[in-house]
């Protein structure tokens, strides 16, 4: 099969197009013929070597954390999926690899593709959808009538999270550039702040939840817009001790993580707030819930650009610019 391979870690290092053996399917996995693959900033960060301490990948490595395609082989212990099913998934860590013509995915991480979506639209959803779900529904337990501040509303996670929060019945505030104000309003944002003109800290107050995806300065300002008892969930760091423990990281990594997040955890505790870091995990069950929301019309994908498979490196470079509205997708088949 054709695939794009990372031979060595390095910033802006190009992936190499190569011919590789088709992945071997384990008893609890299915083989998916890849029709489309979502491109995420996480792929660039792994390529750059930012996660090599906590995610010990073996090189050469095929990147790619989102897949939509068709089942072509089923493991001996798999139930609920059959050859010919149209599916989508965020493959598990250490089993990623959707920048290829085929990828093996655990059945527990897989869900049937939303019927109304194209393969490209479906491939845009798993990672961002699961991130938003695990942040807002699982961790924050967001409820009707609460107020949530979702940073970077026109981005991949933000564009999904706004729609999910509105479905729950929350009041949603977000930041974006002036060019994307109408987009985030159409997605459901109630309060829209042009980050180039206004400081969100001066506009927002007494919020129940913040979904943080920006830099350290925005992190500390976000703590100040929460009311006592509120929760800040960060997907951009710093990681917290619970994250390192959940990974089973070695002691020295746990120590580093504890030190990295000590300042923000102390500040949050002093203000009577909850701080947690989220590194989303694969979940077919939660993807099934997302499928139902999409098929019901509550969530719609936001796709900025679709690149040809041969242009995978260009797609990755475009994601790194930070200018994409919603998601970037590679059309493989």
d(CA 3, CA 332) in angstroms, rounded, equals 10
pLDDT at 91 over 90: yes
Q: Would you mind telling me the total number of residues written for the chain in this entry?
A: 333
The residue assigned the tokens 């060019």 is 179
State residue 2's pLDDT score: 98
Give 306-333 pLDDT, tens digit per residue: 999 999 999 999 999 999 999 999 999 9
The string of DSSP letters for 207-227 reads: EEEEEE-S-HHHHHHHHTTEE
d(CA 212, CA 263) in angstroms, rounded, equals 16
State residue 252's pLDDT score: 84
State residue 257's pLDDT score: 86
State residue 55's pLDDT score: 87
State residue 189's pLDDT score: 98
Q: Could you give the residue range(s) of every CATH 3.40.50.720 domain in the chain?
A: 128-277
* Domain 128-277 class in CATH: alpha beta
d(CA 189, CA 110) in angstroms, rounded, equals 30
Q: E strands, 67-158, where?
A: 67-74, 86-89, 102-106, 110-112, 147-150
pLDDT band for 249, please (50, 70, 90 cuts). confident
pLDDT band for 218, please (50, 70, 90 cuts). very high
Which phi and psi angles does 268 have, rounded to 5°?
A: -60, -45
Helix axes 41-48, 312-320, angle to 10 degrees: 100
Cβ proximity of 65 and 98 under 8 Å: yes
3-state secondary structure of 244: helix
Q: What tokens appear for 103 in the block?
A: 């990828």
pLDDT band for 245, please (50, 70, 90 cuts). confident
Q: Could you give the residue range(s) of every CATH 3.90.180.10 domain in the chain?
A: 2-125+301-331
Q: Chain-wide mean pLDDT for the chain? A: 96
* Domain 2-125+301-331 class in CATH: alpha beta
Cis peptide before 4 (omega within 30 of 0): no
Cis peptide before 307 (omega within 30 of 0): no
d(CA 206, CA 141) in angstroms, rounded, equals 17
The residue assigned the tokens 């796709």 is 303
Query: Within 169-250, where are the H helices?
Result: 181-187, 200-203, 216-223, 241-247
């Amino acid at each position: 099969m054709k695939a794009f391979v990372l031979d060595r870690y390095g910033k802006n290092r190009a992936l190499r197009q190569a011919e590789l053996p088709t992945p071997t399917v384990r008893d609890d996995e299915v083989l998916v013929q890849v029709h489309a693959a979502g491109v995420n900033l996480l792929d660039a960060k792994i390529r750059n070597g930012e996660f090599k301490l906590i995610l010990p990948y073996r090189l050469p490595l095929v990147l790619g954390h989102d897949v939509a395609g068709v089942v072509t082989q089923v493991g001996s212990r798999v139930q609920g999926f059959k050859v010919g099913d149209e599916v989508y998934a965020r493959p598990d860590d250490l089993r990623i690899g959707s920048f290829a013509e085929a990828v093996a995915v655990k059945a527990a991480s897989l869900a049937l593709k939303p019927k109304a979506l194209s393969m490209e639209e479906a491939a845009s959803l798993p990672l961002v959808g699961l991130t938003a779900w695990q942040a807002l529904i699982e961790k924050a337990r967001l409820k009707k009538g609460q107020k949530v501040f979702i940073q970077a509303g026109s981005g991949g996670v933000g564009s999904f999270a706004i729609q999910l929060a509105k479905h729950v019945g929350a009041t949603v505030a977000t930041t974006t550039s002036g060019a994307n104000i109408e987009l985030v309003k159409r997605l459901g944002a109630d309060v829209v702040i042009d980050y180039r003109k206004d400081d969100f800290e001066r506009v927002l107050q007494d919020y129940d939840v913040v979904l943080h995806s920006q830099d350290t300065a925005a992190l500390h300002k976000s703590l100040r817009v929460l009311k006592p008892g509120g929760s800040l969930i960060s997907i951009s760091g710093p990681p917290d001790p619970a994250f390192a423990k959940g990974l089973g990281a070695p002691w020295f990594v746990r120590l580093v993580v504890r030190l990295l997040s000590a300042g923000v955890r102390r500040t949050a505790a002093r203000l009577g707030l909850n701080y947690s870091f989220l590194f989303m995990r694969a979940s077919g069950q939660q993807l099934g819930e997302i499928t139902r929301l999409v098929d019901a019309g509550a969530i719609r994908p936001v796709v900025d650009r679709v690149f040809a498979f041969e242009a995978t490196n260009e797609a990755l470079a475009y994601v790194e610019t930070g200018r994409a509205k919603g998601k970037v997708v590679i059309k493989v088949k």
